[in-house]
Each structure stands twice: as C-alpha cells, then as structure tokens.
Amino acid sequence: MKWSWLIPLLVVALVVADDDELPLAEICDQEACQLPDCRCSSTSIPGGLEPRDTPQFVMVTFDDAVNVINTETYREVLYNRQNQNGCPVGATFYVSHEYTNYQLVNELYNNGFEIALHSVSHQTPQAYWAEANKEIMMKEFGEQRQMMSHFANIPIDTIQGIRLPFLQMPGNASFEVLAETGMTYDCSWPTITHINPGLWPYTLDYASTQDCVIAPCPTASIPGKWVIPMVTWRDLDGNPCSMVDACFSPPRSDDADEWFMYFTRNFERHYMGNRAPFGFFIHEWYLRAFPAATRGLILFLDSINNIPDVFMVNSIDVINWVKDPVPIDEYRARGCQNLRSRQCLPATVCGPLVAPHKEEQFYMSSCNACPGTYPWLGNPLGSN
C-alpha cells in the first residue's frame, strides 16, 4: 500500500475545501451572462420578445403530502384539461414525504404533471429551515429525491425543483444542494416589489435584485441554478400574498363568479403586462374549505385554457422555454410534452411501519418493494 499515506492528506484537503466560503455574487454582467445557462434577475422578456409574441405561462402548483383526499380535488380540477393548442395542461406538485401515498404520486406523474420536492420532514419550528446547513438540506431534499423516485417509480431526472416549507429559505444551502445533485430550480422566493412588470425566472450566477421578503436569501454565486420568483398577488384590499390561500382579503363569498373575477384580475396584471409567468400557488385544503373558490378556479381555468397564447404548464417547462425563448408560433409548433407512463406494479400498501421520529404506525402506499421501516431523514429507502 505504497500510497496509503496520501489518504490522510486527501481527507484534510476535503475538509478544508468544505469550509471554504462560497464566492459572493457580484452585480450582474449582462455581456457575460447569456442564455441558455445564465440570466440576470430582470423584468425584461427573455430573448427580447415583445409581449404579444411571448407565451403567457400559467403555473398552477400544490404543496404538501399527496393523499386520497386531496387527489380527488386534483382529479376534478386538473385531469382531462387541455390548453387551446390541444396539449394536456401541466401543474406542479411540491410533495412532502410524511403521509404521502406514492401510488397517487405515480398517477399524477402519469397524467403529465411535474413532481417536485417539498422536504422529507416539513418540520416546525420555521427556524429549523432558516438555520439549516447544507447537510440538513441534503437530507431533506437530496435524499428525498431518491425516495420519491424509488417509491413512486418515476425517473430521478424528472425531479428538478424544490420549494422550502413555509417558504423559509436557508440562504445559500438549498441552492448548493441543487448544484450538488444536478437539480434545476427553486420556487420559494416571493417578490412584493417586482410584480408589475413581473420578475421573470433568472439564475444565481450573479447577485439577485429581488427583494428578500423572508430572510435569509441566497447571496453567493451559484452558477446555472434558477429562481422561479413567486410574483405575489394583490388581494381585494391591495395586500400582497405569495400563495392564494395566504391572501388576507379574498372574496368572502359563495359566489363563484366573484372568485373568478378575483383570479382573473390578478392574471391580467401579467397578461396585459410583460407576461411574466403567472403563478397560482395554493394548498388543496383551501379549495375544500371554499367550494365557491373551487368553482371559480374551474371557471378561470376554462377561460384561460381557451386563450391561444396562454399555456398552463409544468414549472420546469417554463424554465426550458426561458433557456430557449422562441415566439408563440414556434412554441406551438413544437407540439405536446410530458406524454409518459411509468408502471406502479405491484401496487402495495406497506405497513405497519415503525418510524424514528414519532410513536405511530405508518402505512405507506408504494409502487416498489416495501421498506423495512418508515423512510425518514438519513434513511430515505427505509432500510432496516
């Protein structure tokens, strides 16, 4: 073992490298920062397109565990719906692990929807997320990606996005995990000031000009990793809200038309403006609590799905367009994406499973062989 003396040296070198500070992001250099891999934070339309040539993307997203109750709503609101170009609509699910039914995640995937990550534990307090380091982020998101791919039986490279619980970013650490695992984007960062015109997605090669609503926000240079800004809505009193269910003064009404008008007014700020992607970010419980909001949402989706230059898509499809921004005609000619199917065989309910974090017996629906114990932080595949 002639070279064994090298090993301690390598270990020392790695530890030192890990302690190194990340480079601080500098003011964006428009010349150096070019698509497809770099974009300065900006409200200007990618590719220098005019608004009328720019597809109006709509990103509908749902957070948290996927279960038999909320899947009923997803089927009612989203399935068998098409954009005006005849392609199935997209939506993105930021899935947290605890109580998730992975057979239903597989069903969502097979219906063309994007599966993204919302952490393993989704634990409180919020300070846990604000203070999380890279190791914690790696367990919550890097390992969750393996878990999701395994139990829902979906290709790991289709999982490209994350959203932090409580929209509480830890500064740079979640973006470092995107970089280390080869994922593409985060969608946790609200903007209150850049809503009209709205902020378009951008990369973190250079310093962001976005307002930091929930500190700490990333300030390091993390090349090629994308931010999808959560362009806030305005409620009926003009208060900003990053998620539809967090608005302070929504319509308090049983009248679906009032909800429809409210959704439409927020949409029009984008559609009549710089066409920054329009986010409809919500939790399913809200639709169950307010049936008129659900009917209003269905009216709203029926309406926008009939507009030729509006496209309701997966969030990753928005990034892919921004990287290669083509005018509407060319975009339509590309045809439909996301037609796919992955088996869920044998469909199995696993359990009772013992979990390390809670005295509770878990039952978990899986598309893959059952784990020996409930998958959790540090043990994503639930090995004994």
Least separation in angstroms between CB 93 and ligand NAG: 28
- Does residue number 172 form part of the binding site for ligand NAG (CB under 6 A)? yes
From 148, 191, 175, 212, select the one nearest 381 (Cα to Cα).
148
Judged by beta carbon distances under 5 to 8 A according to partner kind, the member of ligand NAG, Zn ion, none in contact with residue 84 is: none
CB under 8 Å to 342, separation ≥6 — which residues?
Answer: 106, 109, 110, 153, 154, 155, 367
Decide: 309 and 55 in contact? Cβ < 8 Å: yes
Least separation in angstroms between CB 117 and ligand NAG: 20
Paired strand residues for 278? 58
Parallel/antiparallel/unpaired status of strands 114-117 and 92-95:
parallel
| Residue 354 CA: distances (Å) to CA of 66, 141, 198, 357 | 20, 22, 47, 9
Judged by beta carbon distances under 5 to 8 A according to partner kind, the member of Zn ion, ligand NAG, none in contact with residue 172 is: ligand NAG
Judged by beta carbon distances under 5 to 8 A according to partner kind, the member of Zn ion, ligand NAG, none in contact with residue 237 is: none
Cα–Cα distance measured from residue 179 to residue 72, given in angstroms and rounded to the nearest whole number: 35
Among 64, 114, 186, 317, binds Zn ion (CB under 5 A): 64
Least separation in angstroms between CB 208 and ligand NAG: 12
- Does residue number 63 form part of the binding site for Zn ion (CB under 5 A)? yes
Binding window for Zn ion (CB under 5 A); candidates: 97-105, 157-165, 269-277, 294-302? 157-165
DSSP states along 129-188: HHT--HHHHIIIIIHHHHHHHHHTT--GGG--EE--GGG---TTHHHHHHHHHT--EE--
Judged by beta carbon distances under 5 to 8 A according to partner kind, the member of Zn ion, ligand NAG, none in contact with residue 49 is: none
Least separation in angstroms between CB 137 and ligand NAG: 12
> What distance, in Å, lies between the first and last C-alpha atoms of the chain?
35
Lay out the site mask for ligand NAG across 207-236 (x = CB under 6 A, - = otherwise): ---------x--xx----------------
Binding window for ligand NAG (CB under 6 A); candidates: 19-27, 231-239, 263-271, 370-378? 19-27
Among 88, 161, 171, 296, binds ligand NAG (CB under 6 A): 171
Q: Which residue has the tokens 């049983």?
A: 254
Least separation in angstroms between CB 165 and ligand NAG: 17
Cα–Cα distance measured from residue 251 to residue 296, given in angstroms and rounded to the nearest whole number: 11
Least separation in angstroms between CB 93 and Zn ion: 11
Region at 335 (left for phi over 0; alpha for psi -120 to 50; beta for the rest): left
Among 18, 19, 21, 359, binds ligand NAG (CB under 6 A): 21
Cα–Cα distance measured from residue 142 to residue 377, given in angstroms and rounded to the nearest whole number: 10
From 82, 109, 77, 69, select the one nearest 93 (Cα to Cα).
109
- Does residue number 19 form part of the binding site for ligand NAG (CB under 6 A)? no
- Does residue number 186 form part of the binding site for Zn ion (CB under 5 A)? no
Decide: 349 and 368 in contact? Cβ < 8 Å: no
Judged by beta carbon distances under 5 to 8 A according to partner kind, the member of Zn ion, ligand NAG, none in contact with residue 64 is: Zn ion
Give 24 or 333: the residue with its C-beta nearer to ligand NAG. Answer: 24
- Does residue number 176 form part of the binding site for Zn ion (CB under 5 A)? no
Least separation in angstroms between CB 312 and ligand NAG: 35
Query: Which residues bind to Zn ion, rule: CB under 5 A?
Result: 63-64, 165
Residue ranges in contact with ligand NAG by CB under 6 A: 21-22, 24, 171-172, 216, 219-220
